[in-house]
Chains A and B, each alone.
Chain A
Amino acid sequence: MTTNIIDLPAVEYLLPGNRTCAGCGLAVAYRFILKALDGKAVMTIPASCLTVLGGMYPVSSVHVPWVNCTFPSTAATATGIAAGLRALGREELRVIAMAGDGGTLDIGIQALSGAAERNEDVLFICYDNEAYMNTGTQRSSATPKGVRTATTPVHGKQENKKDIIQIMEAHGVGYIATASPSYPGDLYDKVLKARDLKGMRYIHIHVPCPPGWAFPTRDTISLGRLAVETGVLALYEIVDGALSFTAKTKTIAKGGGKLRPLEDYLSAQGRFKGMGEEIVAEFQDGVRERWERFAARDRQSAGA
């Protein structure tokens, strides 16, 4: 059972007041991540919106040891922290690396691939807001096809979103999960579970971004839900290769897999405006194809 939001620990490690934009999905997600880590972790963070959230010296919005690192080196710095703590006999302190989609799928992928291949004792969390939001919404490899960004301003992005989950699966990562700030109990459970596992773990959080996606700040949570209800984001975990749906996605699958039309998700955001019908159709086909693939694996895991 997914932990109910009212049963989450009351203790706060994200202190009142931080520098993220109004309606930031990352800030919501991060609050629950820290509740799950419960003071048993050290985090390493590259240049990202999370750096902004952390605040500027000498004040900080987070009550957890933070080690800032260079943009490409998140997974390597985490590796080093873990190795250092091991050398000092302090393995009880868990090492969490957390980066944005650019810091994970683009500039950080070499170090991440290395750490995953070596099965480092690191929990890597990617918060995916689907572009370089901290620098002003430039396209990343996580940006969906058709989206207008500051560096795809006229025609929209022409390439598909990079499938980081398949990449992590190909590395044989033992625990992989997706999550959303709109489902905090599910997010909390996954981080808590991953925190106490050994070796490389990977959690991918889909994070709505009001200024980058162009939607009203009050709609962050409902937009995260729309992503799940339309199948754009499936909530699942993959444990040693076995994929199981969780939370709302599990409910949708149990109800026969009826997804809301993609249009509901696209029309709620300015970034998809002017997207050609062909790309919309391709997007919808992609969502459906992925859903079928995941659902088959989910059924297989349940039967096994």
Chain B
Amino acid sequence: MGKDEDSKFLIITGNQALALGAKLCRVQVISAYPITPQSPVTETLSHYVESGQLKAEYVNVESEHSALSVCIGASTAGARAFTATSANGLAYMCEVIHWAAGARLPIVMGCVNRAMAAPWNVLNDQQDSMSQRDAGWIQIFCRNNQEVLDTAIQAFKIAETVYAPVMVCYDGYLLSHTVMPVEAPTQEQVDAFLPPYRPHTILDPENPKNINQVTLANPRLDERGVMCHGYMELRFLLEEALESARDTIVAVGKEYEEAFGRSCGGMLWEYRAEDAEVILVAAGSLASEASMAVDALRETGIAAGVVGVRVYRPFPKEELREALRDARLVLVFDKSLSYGNEGPICTDLKAALYGSESMPPVQGHIAGLGGRDIKAREIEAATRKALQNLEAGITTKPTEWLNCHI
């Protein structure tokens, strides 16, 4: 497998893994603002830059809004740009999150998933990135620290292929502050994998462009009489980029596996799902937790499996239809909620299944909000309960809140 003998095994946190990934990608401009639990990413990167281990511009900004704005400026100028944040920091960026996607800038941002205030809570759930799902960013969830590092490296290649920004999402504390063994590739390996960034925005006084100026609804003639896109066409192209990212993500994942000998999966990853009748769906570290529940269920004769949503945007519709084709029951565990409706993965999964040949019943669960602990045995119990309901002929139950003491 093209594994390099010089690659190193490290015991590091998810935050260190992300910072290391950015460094190996030779990011040229970094701008970030500290927020728990993302702060160690900023500290690690600024140490790399100040100690000369990474030749990059590090801009200590006064807010997350400015952090992403600096990345937008830098990426427009033609530099590879990186930032990271969490929760309220991500929400504070909201306007510029939309801008980065609309401007088609291949920025990579780490989102260390944390609960949204109010009330204040610094612990993990996935409400922050889920709330930004409609902005035009690719969103990839990581299950462990190795995936954080590997996904960061893949993210730049994906972003710079389809010209859309990528959010690398991983669970606060559960991954960000937990040390795990991580195999780090060498700089040479990453250099061979990731070519330099080729910007589509050239700042040239001899041939000046007005980048992202006011654009009307309808197509319009330029000064030479050539019909140019209106706003709606430009937005269609952004959607087309996100749709085309499916193939890119899978291809980049395969290429990464060939080069580094490791795979994070494509759009999904699966655990004992091949012959499973009951399938548990989740994103991030909760999907790893569900794997343990599946082992326990299998021991008692229940053919259970896990389908992890690795890429949440673009949403893996086809892949889920295929993966859930033979399932008798599907359980979704969301660590976030679209208030007044249900978990976002649950909604999207149901929509993906609509009109498919087999439409298994889907039971939604809300779990782990604001750091509420969720154990494998609780996922196991929830699965048994859903199975009992199914045996009793009950297939449409409202969303279950796991471990909620009301």
A-to-B contact residues, CB < 8 Å: 39-42, 44, 51-52, 54-60, 62-70, 72-73, 75-88, 90, 93, 110-111, 113-114, 117-118
Q: Are B208 and A65 in contact (CB under 8 A)?
A: yes
Q: Are A67 and B203 in contact (CB under 8 A)?
A: yes
Closest beta carbon of chain A to B218's beta carbon, Å: 11
Is the CB of B311 closer than 8 A to any CB of chain A? no
9 closest A-B pairs by CB: A80-B73, A84-B77, A114-B62, A84-B74, A76-B66, A73-B69, A80-B70, A76-B69, A84-B79
Q: Which of B86-128 contact A (CB under 8 A)?
A: 95-96, 99
Contacts of A55 in B (CB 8 A): 210, 213-214
Q: Are B212 and A83 in contact (CB under 8 A)?
A: no
Contacts of A57 in B (CB 8 A): 210, 213-216, 220, 228
**A76-B61, A80-B29 known; A69 vs B74 contact (CB < 8 Å):** no
Q: Are B213 and A88 in contact (CB under 8 A)?
A: no
Contact digits for B39-67, partner A, Cβ 8 Å, 1 yes 0 no: 00000000000000000110111110111
Is the CB of B129 closer than 8 A to any CB of chain A? no
Give the docked Cα–Cα distance between A18 and B305 (Å).
63
Closest beta carbon of chain A to B231's beta carbon, Å: 9
Q: Are A87 and B205 in contact (CB under 8 A)?
A: no
Is the CB of B38 closer than 8 A to any CB of chain A? no
Contacts of B175 in A (CB 8 A): none
Closest beta carbon of chain A to B312's beta carbon, Å: 25
A122 (CB) vs chain B CBs: closest residue? B73
Is the CB of B75 closer than 8 A to any CB of chain A? yes
Q: Are A87 and B210 in contact (CB under 8 A)?
A: no
B224 (CB) vs chain A CBs: closest residue? A58
Q: Are B210 and A114 in contact (CB under 8 A)?
A: no
Q: Are A80 and B62 in contact (CB under 8 A)?
A: no
Kindly name the residue among B31, B81, B99, B214 whose own CB sees the greatest number of chain A CB atoms within 10 A.
B214
**A55-B213, A85-B77, A87-B29 known; A62 vs B208 contact (CB < 8 Å):** yes
Contacts of B210 in A (CB 8 A): 54-55, 57, 60, 62, 66, 68
Q: Are B222 and A68 in contact (CB under 8 A)?
A: no
A83 (CB) vs chain B CBs: closest residue? B57
Give the docked Cα–Cα distance between A80 and B28 (Å).
11
Contacts of B70 in A (CB 8 A): 76-77, 79-80, 83
Q: What would be 28 A-B contacts, judged by CB atoms less than 8 Å apart?
A: A39-B205, A39-B206, A42-B203, A57-B215, A65-B205, A67-B211, A68-B213, A69-B99, A70-B65, A70-B69, A72-B95, A73-B65, A77-B70, A77-B72, A81-B74, A82-B73, A83-B31, A83-B79, A84-B57, A84-B74, A84-B75, A84-B76, A85-B203, A110-B65, A111-B62, A114-B66, A118-B59, A118-B60
Is the CB of B204 closer than 8 A to any CB of chain A? yes
Closest beta carbon of chain B to A179's beta carbon, Å: 23
**A56-B216, A59-B223, A80-B70 known; A72 vs B65 contact (CB < 8 Å):** yes
Residues of B contacting A: mostly: mixed
Closest beta carbon of chain A to B33's beta carbon, Å: 10
Closest beta carbon of chain A to B290's beta carbon, Å: 39
Q: Which of B387-402 contact A (CB under 8 A)?
A: none
Contacts of B265 in A (CB 8 A): none
Q: How large is the interface on B (under 10, 10 to 19, 20 to 34, 35 or more residues)?
A: 35 or more
Contacts of B81 in A (CB 8 A): 80, 84
Give the docked Cα–Cα distance between A62 and B213 (Å).
11
A57 (CB) vs chain B CBs: closest residue? B215
Closest beta carbon of chain B to A253's beta carbon, Å: 38
Q: Are B78 and A88 in contact (CB under 8 A)?
A: yes
Contacts of A78 in B (CB 8 A): 73
Q: Are B66 and A111 in contact (CB under 8 A)?
A: yes
Is the CB of B209 closer than 8 A to any CB of chain A? yes
Give the docked Cα–Cα distance between A147 and B60 (Å).
39
Is the CB of B71 closer than 8 A to any CB of chain A? yes
- 7 extra interchain contacts, Cβ-Cβ under 8 A, other than A57-B216, A81-B76, A111-B66? A41-B205, A51-B214, A56-B220, A58-B226, A65-B204, A70-B95, A76-B67
B231 (CB) vs chain A CBs: closest residue? A57
Closest beta carbon of chain B to A276's beta carbon, Å: 39
Q: Are B208 and A66 in contact (CB under 8 A)?
A: yes
Closest beta carbon of chain B to A103's beta carbon, Å: 13
Contacts of B31 in A (CB 8 A): 79-80, 83
Give the docked Cα–Cα distance between A5 and B305 (Å).
79
Give the docked Cα–Cα distance between A84 and B212 (Å).
18
Q: Are B66 and A73 in contact (CB under 8 A)?
A: yes
Contacts of B223 in A (CB 8 A): 58-59
Query: Which of B56, B201, B205, B213 touches A56 (beta carbons < 8 Å)?
Result: B213
Contacts of B211 in A (CB 8 A): 65-68
Q: Are B57 and A87 in contact (CB under 8 A)?
A: yes
Q: Are A84 and B220 in contact (CB under 8 A)?
A: no
Closest beta carbon of chain A to B165's beta carbon, Å: 14
